[in-house]
Structure 1
């Protein structure tokens, strides 16, 4: 082969390699009505996608929903513009994602913390009881009165899962610690949350783990007034009671986003209902707050019990 032929081949290889490297994945995220300043999963997912740009060639766009009626238009906007992967946040977006998936069958959608049974949707779900297990371990290690409590909003299957996981975690550490369970009957009843949490404090409870939605503000007010400890599921609560929230059990969005974007790049992406738990590194403790409120000895113990759970040495019973 002459010099000119070699030069042409090298030039073609250079052009090909440039075109491959220039390819990018178009990813969009639509918030629910909490918006991107919610200190919760809208914001977490946005930050995790931005971090993923360090490892992947992404074009990112975000749309914030002020009303639930915005969901469909925001999702459809990205579908009409042929984005590769469109994310929605939370179960309140299930119907909007379902309708968009039916209207745009060639587009892939991801719903975080929700289920949509369409062939072009990946549904990300979580074994919430395993997050609560970590809360129970921490509660048993931190209580001084040996009496702790769980407060749920409504008595749904998911919230009862939190109750079971919490009790399992407490009992794994110390079966003599009493666990009191209470339900508000609503996720919006601030006054009932305040009254029930005050009653629990009078019963010697010095730590409350809660899954009570907006009504949690009543529990937080009680903690501020009585100086008891709390374990939350919402990072936004830290700003309300920084000296009372021991930690927040969060979904590990950095890890999950990295896994899903990576699978898309590596051509092993599959639209399915995926369930994440402790074995998948799906739950983490809010870093800064945890480091401020829990010492390394306790954190080491939490990791020990987590590994025992992953190894199958501890199980969450359905009757807890």
Structure 2
């Protein structure tokens, strides 16, 4: 820690000169950094889409994109050091696991803007130069839960499953909506929830999915990033349906019912553009949901009956209207 503080002190002048201005649009091209979580940018979804948003935004505003990959949590602080040393005007944390690191740097560099995907600014320090990018993923989870419950019923069963990665709020919110709406759509539906404790180890998620299917699950919803692709492949191998997460994962395995999509590219893009044009609102959170098209579902298998899709869309309409509010905490 002493080494990190020393390095932070040595680069504070550089960061102060390159930091974001709250007075208006930047007169010079901005530099926007994105620090990945431990899954890196080749996870086919969560981090990869944020990198896409970073590059799109940088191109739009004529700025420079600075992607910084983390292979482990020990890479977080060195990556933030690189970002501020290189004069980034805004640094985006690609996930909940980076909150403590962002908190440290947001306090040390008040002239730099910071944002975090999947967490609130208050949870990451509550500083005026921070913004949270939150997603109502329980809403997307709800929609895929409806389809999963119908599939289990069609197969003569009443059990579905979720393979989580690490048990953190952004994972559990997906599962909460999934479990809640599955039971609402088809009363009596049971949801098995287990965790692999990894976002990168496909074998670990494959083992979890195999166990869940052994307990009678007809559908497996992966909420574990790259690790979860192992769950989808295992489900297909055993003749069961899988549900993808974050991105459209229809291509991952042969039996993908659909995917619960979180448009992490949009959140990053919006933040970077706001810094460039001087409208960044520190000390606030932005929320992407079904109503503003920030979450949703991916490609739906052509084998899904139209009546199921109609039912799912009725749930979507109720959520948008505010008459149905799936929980963000897994119900008992």
TM-score band by shorter chain is 0.7 to 0.9
The answer to whether the aligner puts 1:121 opposite 2:133 as a matched pair is no
Cα distance in 2 between the residues matched to 1:294 and 1:53: 39
Distance 1:134 1:269, change over 3 A: same
Question: For 1:166-209, what per-residue CA distance to the aligned partner results, in whole angstroms no more than 9, with x for missing partners?
Answer: 1332245x334623323358457557514522323xx3x42222
Map of 1:246-285 to 2, 5 A cutoff? 246-274=257-285, 275-285=287-297
Distance 1:300 1:254, change over 3 A: farther
Distance 1:291 1:26, change over 3 A: farther
Segments of 5+ residues of structure 1 without an aligned counterpart are 1-19
Cα distance in 2 between the residues matched to 1:313 and 1:31: 36
Comparing both chains, which one has the higher relative contact order based on Cα–Cα distances under 8 Å and sequence gaps of 6 or more? 2
How high is the TM-score relative to the length of structure 2? Answer: 0.73
Is the Cα contact below 8 Å between 2:118 and 2:133 reproduced in 1?
A: yes
Distance 1:26 1:249, change over 3 A: same
Question: For 1:79-107, what per-residue CA distance to the aligned partner results, in whole angstroms no more than 9, with x for missing partners?
Answer: 12322111121122222222222222211
> What SS does the corresponding residue of 2:106 show, helix, strand or coil?
helix
Q: How many residue pairs are counted as aligned between the two chains? A: 294
Q: Aligned-pair distance for 1:26?
A: 2.0
Is the Cα contact below 8 Å between 1:122 and 1:272 reproduced in 2?
A: yes
Map of 1:184-223 to 2, 5 A cutoff? 184=195, 186-187=197-198, 189-190=204-205, 193-200=208-215, 203=216, 205-212=217-224, 216=228, 219-223=231-235
Distance 1:161 1:71, change over 3 A: closer
2:142 to 122, 126, 133: 133
Is the Cα contact below 8 Å between 2:151 and 2:218 reproduced in 1?
A: no
Is the Cα contact below 8 Å between 1:152 and 1:184 reproduced in 2?
A: yes
RMSD of aligned Cα (Å): 3.4
Q: Aligned-pair distance for 1:245?
A: 2.0
Cα distance in 1 between the residues matched to 2:258 and 2:117: 22
Cα distance in 1 between the residues matched to 2:311 and 2:268: 28
> What SS does the corresponding residue of 1:281 show, helix, strand or coil?
coil
Deviates more, 1:305-314 or 1:122-131: 122-131
Distance 1:269 1:294, change over 3 A: farther
Distance 1:199 1:252, change over 3 A: same
> What SS does the corresponding residue of 2:61 show, helix, strand or coil?
coil
Q: Aligned-pair distance for 1:218?
A: 6.0
The answer to whether the aligner puts 1:309 opposite 2:319 as a matched pair is yes
Cα distance in 2 between the residues matched to 1:22 and 1:290: 45
Cα distance in 2 between the residues matched to 1:125 and 1:198: 32
> What SS does the corresponding residue of 1:101 show, helix, strand or coil?
helix
Q: Aligned-pair distance for 1:293?
A: 6.6
Q: Return the index of the structure with the highest Cα Rg.
A: 1
2:194 to 180, 183, 192: 183
